[in-house]
Amino acid sequence: MPVNMIVCCKQVPDPEAPPAVFKVVNNKMTLPPEVKPVIGQYEEFALEAALKIKDAVGGKITALSVGNNFVRDVIKKALAVGADELILLEDKAFEDGDSWSTAHALAAAIKKIGTYNIIFCGRQSSDWDAGQVGLGIAEILGIPAVTLARKVEVSDGKAKVDRVIPDGCQVIEVALPAVIVVTSGLGALRYATLKGIMAAAKKQPIVWKPADIGLDPSQIGAAGRHSKLEKLFQPVKESKCEMIEGDTAAEAGAKLAVRLREAKLL
């Protein structure tokens, strides 16, 4: 049975950028232009989970994202790697949402899409790291959710999910439709093929405005927030590292042993 899948993706500043470039200015994260936006790392895993199911049993993948000013080349990566459709909830009114308003916007769009067996989300976005949206969508739609998935298989209208727990994993069975929230461990997102890139270049995303999903601008983005950001800051760290040197790396290693002993650490 082919599986209809929706993968929620977020465009975020590259989280792998060096820590030193992250600067808070006037309560906002400000990054230099060389830090490019990317699809969040856990949403990439979610895409890969969907692609693996499409490989195994066939199906359709719709990538869905909410925000504003999407960089087309970045977000269209979802199409290039194998998603069939890309829907963008793109409007100024969608900006600066919190988990509450984001989950409501995505759930409204999912209701409009209508047909789905699995909704994949990443465990947490790579910017705000809250880890709530997938579960929020499940509660709004009234469907089950399994979190921290690192392997997903589908058969007979059910999914079998390996859910990571502190000392191993649980194998969980859930009837579909369901939300599955993906963590790492199922392998990196595959590279786009040349054919995929060409196809993606030709395909245009579908853009929906708040009215298209039946929401009032007061319910979404910054206006629809439940939580208020009082302050964004970076704790000041004083570097006080004592560097141990030697003529060779091995000598430095031996000296480190002596120094740790002197300092009564060991």
Partner 1 sequence: MAEYKGILVCGELADGKLAAITTELLGCGRKLADDLKENLSCLLASAAIGGASKEAIAFGADKVYAVEHPALKDYQADSHMQVVGKLVKDISPRLILMGQTSMGRDLAPRLAFTLGTTVTTDCLDLRIDPGTKLLMQTRPVYGGNAQAIFTSESLPQVVTVRTKAMSPLERDASRKGEVIPTKIDIDMSKVRTKILDTVKEEAVGIKLEDAPVIVSGGRGLGGPQPFQTVLKELADLLHGAVGASRPPADNGWVPEGLHIGLTGKIVAPDIYFAVAISGASQHTAGCSGSKHIIAINKDPEANIFREAEFGVVGKYEEVIPALTKKLKELLAG
Does 25 sit near partner 1 (CB under 8 A)? no
The answer to the question of residue 175 lying near partner 1 (CB under 8 A) is: yes
Residue 130: closest CA among 248, 256, 225, 63 = 225
Q: Residue 266 class from Cβ within 10 Å (0-12 exposed, 13-18 middle, 19+ buried)?
A: exposed
Among 151, 160, 190, 203, binds partner 1 (CB under 8 A): 160
Number of residues that bind partner 1 (CB under 8 A): 85
Query: 101, 118, 15: which is closest to 66 by C-alpha?
Result: 101
Residue 79 corresponds to which tokens in the numbers above?
Answer: 């199409």
Told to check if 264 binds partner 1 by CB under 8 A, we report no
Query: Scanning residues 33 to 92, which ones bind partner 1 (CB under 8 A)?
Result: none
Residues 216-235 that bind partner 1 (CB under 8 A): 226-235
Peptide bond into 177 cis (omega under 30): yes
Element (H, E) at 234: none
Using the rule CB under 8 A, is 211 a contact of partner 1? no
Q: Pick from 54, 74, 55, 52: which is nearest to 65 by CA?
A: 74
Q: Which of residues 88-117 bind partner 1 (CB under 8 A)?
A: 98-100, 103
- Contact residue for partner 1 among 97, 136, 205, 210 (CB under 8 A): 136
CA atoms within 13 A on the CB side of 253: 3
Listed ranges 1-9, 81-89, 141-149, 198-206: which one lies at the site for partner 1 (CB under 8 A): 141-149
Which residue in the set 155, 170, 193, 218 belongs to the binding site for partner 1 (CB under 8 A)?
A: 170
Q: How far is the CB of 155 from partner 1 (least distance, A)?
A: 13
Contacting residue, 71, 130, 198, 211, with partner 1 by CB under 8 A: 130
For partner 1, the binding residues in 3-22 under the rule CB under 8 A are: 15-16, 18-20, 22
Token pair belonging to 139: 């509660």
